[in-house]
Copies of this chain bind each other. A is one copy, B any other.
Amino acid sequence: MTDSPRRAPVTRAGATPAGRRRLRRALAAAAVDLFVAKGYEATTVDEIAAAAGVGRRTFFRYFDSKDEVLFANHDEIVAEMEEAFAEADPERDPVETACAAVGLVLDSYAAELDVSLKRFTLTRTVPSLRDKEVATVDRYQRVLARYLRARFADQGDETASLRADVAAAAIAAANNHVLRRWLRSGGQDDIGASAAEAFALVIDAFRAERAVAEETTVVAVMTTATPLHSVIAKVNAALNGK
């Protein structure tokens, strides 16, 4: 009982990539459970690490901060979105493409309902977590905006940057609206139908210059208050195709 500090046997989980992912998920799961059980602020990182059977220092090797543990898979989702944009059909309406890409977020949330619900209650309750979530949304909103900016610029839109920012924000808002409604229903609502409705609204509002395929009759609608240059621009865009 004198000398050796009796070091606990270390099962080095992070040795293999699969093990790393496992431990990451274990840490995240332990954290969420603790947050729900005794509150976010009241839960220390020590407790999370202990619950996952690792040291406190190891926790910070897997997550940069305590709150990041709640949005563990966010980076993967963003990566999926980038990938979706890379292999998207260039002929398709950019806003539609962006809506489809952001639908990946809905999918990932729907894939793990229990965690999503717990995170939802936490983000509704804890201000700092709400802010953190807003920041993550902003991150993929930027990805959307970047894609749309490039596509709008391709279409010769001189206000591409502005329209891209606004459209990206609208898409993200529609996505969040659907997501929150679905989570409030406890995952019972038909999330696909809600998403279709919401995205239809956005697509309708932001379809590029209301342009259409050739050989269709186009009737331009605008009020008499529309400035002349705007009328000319829109008619020109409609007649010259997309």
Contacts and interface: CB of A to CB of B under 8 A. Distances in A.
A52 interface: no
A200 to B, nearest CB: 8
A176 interface: yes
Given A132-B131, A219-B220, A222-B219, A166 B177 contact: yes
A65 B224 CA distance: 52
Contacts of A16: none
A187 B169 CA distance: 24
Chain A: interface size category: 35 or more
A167 B166 CA distance: 9
A167 B206 CA distance: 12
Given A219-B219, A220-B219, A173 B165 contact: yes
Interface in A137-190: 138, 159, 161-163, 165-170, 172-174, 176-177
Given A218-B221, A219-B220, A225-B216, A166 B161 contact: no
A170 B174 contact: no
A108 B196 CA distance: 39
B219 A221 contact: yes
Contacts of A167: 170
A132 B134 CA distance: 9
Contact of A174 (B131, B134, B162, B177): B162
